[in-house]
Amino acid sequence: MGKTQRVVVNGQTIGVVRWGQDSDFPWAKGSFEPIDGFEAFERFFKRNPQPHNASGRWLQDEQLAAEGIGADKLLLIGEDEDEPSFIHALVLHDDGRAAWRFGDEPLV
């Protein structure tokens, strides 16, 4: 596995993503390990109702925004990085795999 980044939602670290070798722009792929505190945000991960995207639970950024947690509060923070990246999408699979998109600016 490659680099490791903390997944931070609204100032709380909820897990860690580890980059895998099969990452391919624009999607990073690897694994997700939840940590204490994930349970408070687990309800924001829902299965996609579209059959071709049914695999995995997608982070519901619109639901987070409705509860006052904006896109600027969805971060990936690496140990050796000066600036965080903003999460644009995060998909968690039941077997521990994950896929995510990110950028230098939050999605609006």
The answer to whether 24 and 100 are in contact (CB under 8 A) is no
Domain ranges of the chain: 4-103
The answer to whether 92 and 45 are in contact (CB under 8 A) is yes
Q: pLDDT tens digits, residue range 38-88?
A: 999 999 999 876 666 557 999 999 999 999 999 999 999 998 888 999 999
Whole-prediction pTM = 0.90
Closest CA relative to residue 50, chosen from 9, 91, 88:
91
Closest CA relative to residue 61, chosen from 49, 51, 73:
73
